[in-house]
Amino acid sequence: MLAERIERLKRERNAIILAHNYSLPEVQDVADFVGDSLGLSIQASETDAEVIVFCGVDFMAESAKILSPSKKVILPEEGAKCAMAAMCTPRMIQEMKEKHPGAWVVGYVNSSAECKAEMDVCCTSANAVKVVRSVEVKEVIFVPDSNLGLYVQSQVPEKKVHLWPGFCPTHQAFTAEMVRRAKEEHPGAEVLVHPEARPEVIALADMVGSTEGILRRALSSDTKEFIIVTELGMVHRLEKEAPGKRFYEIPGSVCPTMKMVTLGSIVRSLEELGPEIHLDPGLIERARIPLERMVAIGR
Ligand code: 13P
Ligand code: SF4
């Protein structure tokens, strides 16, 4: 069985498997840790393992390498790239800095290492509001997710947030109509929404949060039914952690690149110890500062 081979290879290689909440159910089930981007970054910075196998997308594995540069970090599928991260370049950030001198660049971790090197502080959806609130200056440039940036602006009105027009295609596809229909079908359910969704979808939410925030709410709420407005993989995690409750996804909510890592590709990557993430040491040094600030701010 593939799961048993993974278990054996993991011990032989002194490896840890980190998986994002959107990864395939069977991948989540063999992982040592499953969580949101912030939780995964914290795990990557604290692990004693020599090898980190990252079941997620490019920016997550790169962040692990930046936070643990002496470790071998493996992304089992090289093509597993975040579509939103690809919408931003270092040049674009430099141009925004020229337009808004004095503003801090608060960058969503869903971005390349080269973009992180241009940022003052990183954030995830779990702590974006907290990070923007904490910066010393009144103006921030928020890249690349405009929906998360708009949400942050609504929560932190005392700051001016300059937005970049990036988005996540999976979350952008959710419409207010879809959520209204789900509410009609499940009138007693709470609506839990990821902040990468459009503002009119967020307006229908009972709670807005990162994938881990959504799990925490589902666990702590007295409600038994939830409409989950984020990627489908989250439902597996929720059903596993809160077996007595019911979760309804919005049809079509799939991030294709988050589904690329399979049990087969994990076996191969542990056998071959690759494909490995390689980043220039100078780039790691620059990108590490905003990422470590993010980890220090925490949830
Ligand atoms: P979280 O940080 O909430 O896990 O989200 C990551 C992501 O890619 C959302 O699309
Ligand atoms: Fe990127 Fe969206 Fe996929 Fe998350 S769900 S990895 S933001 S494309």
Work out the number of other CB atoms within 10 angstroms of the CB of residue 83: 17
Q: Which of 181, 261, 188 is nearest to 229 (CA)?
A: 181
pLDDT tens per residue across span 147-204: 999 999 999 999 999 999 999 999 999 999 999 999 999 999 999 999 999 999 999 9
Paired sense of beta strands 51-55 and 72-74, if any = parallel
What is the arithmetic mean of pLDDT over 75-101? Answer: 98
Residue 150 Cα distances to 69, 135, 144, 264, angstroms: 33, 17, 11, 39
Residue 70 in tokens:
């002496």
Instruction: Ligand 1: list residues with CB < 6 Å.
Output: 21, 36-37, 110, 124-126, 168, 194, 196, 210-211
Q: How far apart are CA 163 and CA 259, in angstroms?
A: 29
d(CA 179, CA 173): 11
pLDDT tens digits, 36-60: 999 998 999 899 999 999 999 999 9
My answer on whether omega of the bond before 275 falls inside 30° of 0, hence cis, is yes
Contact assessment for residue 290 and residue 57, using Cβ atoms and an 8 Å cutoff: no
Q: Measuring CA to CA, which residue among 208, 84, 85, 92 is closest to residue 141? A: 92
Ligand 1 centroid to 18 CA: how many Å? Answer: 14
- DSSP class of 251: T
Taking CA atoms only, the protein residue closest to ligand 2 atom 2 is: 168
| Ligand 2 midpoint to CA 255 (Å) | 6
Q: Mark 15-47 as b/e (b = at least 16 C-beta within 10 Å).
A: bbbbbbbbbbeebbebbeebbbbbbbbbbbeeb
Phi and psi based region of residue 60 (left: phi greater than 0; alpha: psi -120 to 50; beta: remaining) = alpha
**Ligand nearest the Cα atom of residue 166:** 2
Question: Which segments of the chain are extended strands (E)?
Answer: 15-20, 33-35, 51-55, 72-74, 104-108, 121-123, 139-143, 160-163, 190-193, 207-208, 225-229, 246-249
Q: Is residue 231 in contact with ligand 2, taking CB distance under 6 Å? A: yes
Specify the 3-state DSSP secondary structure of 71: coil
Name the one residue in this structure whose structure tokens are 């949830």: 299
The ligand that comes nearest to the alpha carbon of residue 212 is 1
For ligand 2, whether the C-beta of 82 sits within 6 Å is yes
Q: What is the C-alpha end-to-end distance of the chain, expressed in Å? A: 37
- 3-state SS, residue 40: helix
In the reported structure, the alpha carbon of residue 124 is separated from the centroid of ligand 2 by a whole-number distance in angstroms of 12
| Mean pLDDT for the stretch of residues 245-272 | 97
Pick from 37, 60, 75, 110 the residue to mutate for probing ligand 2's pocket: most ligand atoms within 8 Å of its CB: 110
pLDDT at 157: 98
Side chain identity at residue 82, one-letter code: C
Under the banding of pLDDT at 50, 70 and 90, the label for residue 115 is very high
Strand partners, 139: 160
Q: How far is the CA of 103 from the centre of ligand 2 (A)?
A: 26
CB of residue 61 inside a 6 A radius of ligand 2: no
Residue 244 is which amino acid? G
| pLDDT value, residue 263 | 98
Q: What is the pLDDT of residues 141-153, one digit of tens each?
A: 999 999 999 999 9
User: For residue 168, how far is its CA from the centre of ligand 2 (angstroms)?
Assistant: 6
Q: What pLDDT, in 10s, does the model give residues 265-289?
A: 999 999 999 999 999 999 999 999 9
Q: Are 54 and 61 spatial neighbours (Cβ–Cβ below 8 Å)?
A: yes
For 201-242, the pLDDT digits (tens) are: 999 999 999 999 999 999 999 999 999 999 999 999 999 999
| C-alpha 111 to ligand 1 mean position (Å) | 12
Is the whole-model pTM more than 0.95? yes
Q: Which residue, judged by its Cα, is nearest atom 7 of ligand 2?
A: 168
Per-residue exposure over 112-131, b if at least 16 CB sit within 10 Å of its own CB, e if not: bbbbbbbbbbbbbbbbbbbb
pLDDT score, position 61: 97
For residue 149, how many other CB atoms are within 10 A of its CB?
25
Q: What is the pLDDT of residue 287?
A: 98
The response to whether residue 170 sits with its C-beta less than 6 Å from ligand 2 reads yes
